[in-house]
Amino acid sequence: MPMVTLTIDGKEVQVEQGTTVLEAAKKVNINIPTLCYLKDINVVGACRICVVEVKGARTLQAACVTPAAENMVVLTNTPAVRASRRMTLELILSNHPFECPTCVRNKNCELQSLAEAFGIREVRYSGANPVHVMDDSSVSIIRDPDKCILCRRCASVCEKVQTVSAIGPQGRGFDTVIAPGVDMVLAESNCVNCGQCVLVCPTGAIYERDQTEEVWAALADPQKHVVVQTAPSVRVAIGEMFGMEPGSVATGQMVAAIRKLGFDKVFDTDFAADLTIMEEGSELLERINNGGILPQITSCSPGWVKFIEHFYPTLLPHVSTCKSPQQMFGALAKTFYAEKAGVDPADIFSVSIMPCTAKKFEAQRPEMNASGYQDVDVALTTRELGRMLKQAGIDFNELPEENYDDPLGVSTGAAVIFGATGGVMEAALRTVYEIVTGNTLASVDFVDVRGMEGVKEATVKVGDLDVKVAVAHGLGNARKLLDALQAGEANYHFIEIMCCPGGCIGGGGQPIPTNYEIRQKRIDGIYTADEAMVLRKSHENPAIQQLYKEYLEKPLGHKSHQLLHTKYTSRGQSNQL
């Protein structure tokens, strides 16, 4: 790549051609403020907060979209630049409700931070604000367009990363609003509830549906037996809500903290993840041995499931019939566990802590009632759990570690890696290999399927068979695999798809910020947690073995089909619950 040399605030800097002034400035330790910019995803120069002076240019230039050029002279901190940035902030604020203390993003808002940094004490301009109706139609995500600053990050993520394009700018000029369509609400759209929009929103214009009050009410109800499950990726992210480094494995503190909230039992979704491997692995073997439809595609990720229901309904027979771990857990909690604990399932209130906004939708799918009740009553996000812990005044960081309750709290390392892209695949391979060959794996680490590359492929020799697998994360990458599949160019046996970039550790319910670096650190945390486990293969989970012995009999057996498997809905462009 050819290099260019430019001067930024008097300092010479050499960068690759095509580098923006914004990126070049970082090299001389200058962080130009941004609002709309999202590296590689939303590079539109819309908000104008990042303007700089470029010698010879007629106007101020937006650093995020201005390519560095040879001999360019850039000034990032002049009276004109500061005045312009202040005015941009003041104008945005003149069009923004002053509701900071009651806003979901209070103290974690990029607009608020900039206003603070610029010392905005008054807004010189005032006038009409567009008044939009809050969209609370979706069970997962709420849109509050009045707080939207039209940075377009949400729309770009939805379009470019997820290739869903459920939301985008509607209307024009001052009346522009980011919405699913003219006069359309989210629940009617093809939104898959992934919540990537929530993660990138700089303000509080789009956020998760808060269900903490429902959980508080259940906890306060003496009639209710409240159980909770925590998803694999929550343990490596929840600490961030309490100032821990991203990727810190905080399983023990989290269990202790949740127990302090008053839950009757603290269980682990990882238990159900091990169970999923038993069912899904068996399903794969059955498909391979009996000429079933291949490749089989994973079904753990509810955003992904809704995506294929909307966009590739003809490929639904490829999707494993296994419920996601959340829903397997839910079905067992009100049957197997209720029986075992001698609790009336009608009194059980089942909560899940998920990295995911789509899990809220999944929990409410009408078919998710195998126990005779709604299997999971409330799915909370990591962020909602964080808020509950803060409300309860729990000193998270200093808590002595505690363990999950038996038996639905016993799990293996294979389950915890469900939280990262490639993890379900790796867990399945660990089990399928040993069940088919009867041999013990020399190394349980299938590193080819790990990491942030969009689409990963591997071939694993299992007995006589070369098992060909592929892994995609982020729906844009999933689409590539599905297109190849439709074109007859995907000769895989098994495909893992996770809706969110990086897998569940980058889910729409995770702490904000969630960016590329933080995703990477959480993935590292996931594999650290895996390595720390004594058991690292699902079929070795003694609680699972016990479950089959006592209750389910065998994978894909009658009870399994009743409780642990599901079917899908072919959806059009508009939503049908």
Partner 1 sequence: MHYYRAHVLVCAGSVCVTSGCRAVKEAILEGITRHQLEEEIKVVETGCMGFCELGPLVVVYPEGVMYCRVKVEDAAVIVNEHLLKGRIVKHLLYQDPNTRKTVTLMKDLPFLSKQTKVAMRNAGLINPEDIEEYIAGEGYLALAKVLSSMSPEEVIIEMKKSGLRGRGGAGFLTGLKWEFTAKARGTQKYVVCNGDEGVPGVFMDRSILEGDPHSVIEAMAIAGYAVGADQGYIYVRAEYPLAVEKLRHAINQACEFGLLGENILGTGFNFEVNIRVGAGAFVCGEETALLASIEGRRGEPRPRPPFPANEGLWGKPTLINNVETLSSVPPIILKGGAWYASMGTEKSKGTKVFALTGKVNNTGLIEVPMGIPLKEIIFDIGGGILNNKKLKAVLAGGPVGGFIPAEHLNVSMDYESLAALGTLIGSGSLTVIDEDTCVVDLVKFFVEFCHEESCGKCTPCRIGTKRMLEILERITRGEGKDGDIEALEVLCDYIKNTALCGLGQSAPNPVLSMLRYFRPELEAHVRDKHCPASVCAFLFDSPCQNTAEGGVR
The yes or no reply on residue 127 touching partner 1 (CB under 8 A) is: yes
Residue 504 annotated to the active site: yes
Judged by CB under 8 A, the residue of 67, 97, 252, 292 near partner 1 is 67
60 belongs to the binding site for partner 1 (CB under 8 A): yes
For residues 54 and 34, give the distance between their C-alpha atoms in angstroms, rounded to a whole number.
17
Nearest 10 degrees: Cα torsion 183, 187, 188, 191: 100
Strand ranges (E), 71-192: 73-75, 141-143, 168-170, 177-179
Distances 225 to 219, 336, 337 between C-alpha atoms, Å:
8, 15, 12
Is residue 359 part of the annotated active site? The answer reads yes
CB of 87 to partner 1, least distance (A): 5
281-340 binders of partner 1 (CB under 8 A): none
Q: Which is nearer to partner 1, 67 or 252 (CB)?
A: 67
Question: Cβ closer to partner 1: 176 or 321?
Answer: 176
Q: Is 384 in the active site?
A: no
| Residue 565: CB atoms within 10 Å | 20
**CA separation for the pair 196, 154 (Å, rounded):** 7
Q: Which of 54, 71, 63 is CA-nearest to residue 3?
A: 71
362 belongs to the catalytic site? yes
Instruction: Report which residue type is found at 225.
Output: H
Q: From the candidates 371, 504, 521, 560, which is the catalytic residue?
A: 504
116, 339, 367, 553: which is the annotated catalytic residue?
367
Which residues between 487 and 506 bind partner 1 (CB under 8 A)? none
* 22 binds partner 1, rule: CB under 8 A: no
In 474-556 the beta strands, taken as DSSP E runs, fall at 494-498
Backbone angles phi, psi at 304, to 5 degrees: -65, -40
Helix H or strand E encompassing 471: strand 465-473
Q: Give the Cα separation of 159 and 94 in Å (integer).
A: 29
171 binds partner 1 (CB under 8 A): yes
Among residues 110, 159, 208, 362, the one annotated as catalytic is: 362
169 binds partner 1 (CB under 8 A): yes
Query: Which one of 306, 334, 359, 521 is the catalytic residue?
Result: 359
**Which residue, among 124, 129, 96, 128, has the nearest Cα to 110 in the 3D structure?**
96
DSSP states of 331-393: HHIIIIIHHHHT--GGGEEEEEEES-SHHHHHHT-TT--TTSS-S-SEEEEHHHHHHHHHHTT
Rounded to the nearest whole angstrom, what is the least distance from the CB of residue 189 to partner 1 in the complex?
17
Task: Examine residue 59 and tell whether it contacts partner 1 (CB under 8 A).
Answer: yes
Residue of the chain from 113, 174, 401, 463 that contacts partner 1 (CB under 8 A)? 174
CA–CA distance, 503 with 451 (Å, rounded to integer): 10
CB of 270 to partner 1, least distance (A): 44
The active-site residue, picked from 36, 50, 300, 499, is 300
Dmax of the chain from CA atoms?
A: 79
Q: Least distance (Å) from partner 1 to the CB of residue 49?
A: 8
Out of 90, 240, 280, 426, the active site residue is 280
Could you confirm whether 322 is annotated as catalytic?
no
CB 438 within 8 A of CB 411: no
Indicate whether 558 belongs to the interface with partner 1 (CB under 8 A): no
By rule CB under 8 A, what count of residues binds partner 1?
37
Rounded to whole angstroms, the Cα distance separating 230 from 253 reads 13
Q: Which stretch binds partner 1 (CB under 8 A): 62-70, 180-188, 275-283, 444-452?
A: 62-70
Least distance in angstroms from the C-beta of 59 to partner 1 = 5
Asked if residue 165 binds partner 1 (CB under 8 A), the reply is: no
What's the min distance (Å) between Cβ of 496 and partner 1? 33
Residues 75-104 within binding reach of partner 1 (CB under 8 A): 80, 83-84, 87-88, 91-92, 94-95
Segment near partner 1 (CB under 8 A); pick from 174-182, 209-217, 419-427, 466-474:
174-182
Question: Judged by CB under 8 A, which of 45, 252, 345, 451 binds partner 1?
Answer: 45
Residue 62 interacts with partner 1 (CB under 8 A): yes or no: yes
The verdict on 168 binding partner 1 (CB under 8 A) reads yes
Catalytic hit among 279, 283, 384, 426: 283
How many Å separate Cα 212 from the centre of its chain?
19
Q: Does 150 bind partner 1 (CB under 8 A)?
A: yes
Secondary structure class of 235 (helix, strand, coil):
coil
At 284, list the tokens.
């794969």
Q: Which residue among 12, 40, 122, 175 contacts partner 1 (CB under 8 A)?
A: 175
Range in contact with partner 1 (rule: CB under 8 A) among 146-154, 270-278, 426-434, 546-554: 146-154
- Taking the least distance from each CB to partner 1, the nearer of 20 and 298 is 20
Q: Name the minimum Å distance from CB 391 to partner 1.
A: 36
- Name the pairing type of β-strands 455-462 and 465-473: antiparallel
Closest CA to 312 of 430, 190, 230, 460: 190
Q: Is residue 533 a contact point for partner 1 (CB under 8 A)?
A: no
- CA atoms of 28 and 171, how far apart (whole Å): 40
State the nearest-atom distance from the C-beta of 65 to partner 1, in Å.
Answer: 4
Between CA 80 and CA 76 the distance in angstroms is: 10
- Positive or negative, the CA dihedral 283, 289, 293, 295 is positive
Nearer to partner 1, 168 or 252 (CB): 168
- From the CB of 335, what's the least distance to partner 1, in Å? 51
Q: Which is nearer to partner 1, 169 or 313 (CB)?
A: 169
Q: Check if the beta carbon of residue 249 is closer than 8 Å to that of residue 235.
A: yes
Each residue of 480-503: b (16+ CB within 10 Å) or e?
bbbeebeeeebebbbbbbbbbbbb
Is 32 near partner 1 (CB under 8 A)?
Answer: no
- Tell me if 70 contacts partner 1 by CB under 8 A: no
Q: Which is nearer to partner 1, 113 or 369 (CB)?
A: 113
Which stretches of the chain bind partner 1, using CB under 8 A? 44-49, 51, 59-60, 62, 65-67, 80, 83-84, 87-88, 91-92, 94-95, 124-125, 127-128, 149-150, 152, 168-169, 171-176
Residues acting as catalytic residues: 280, 283, 300, 320, 359, 362, 367, 504
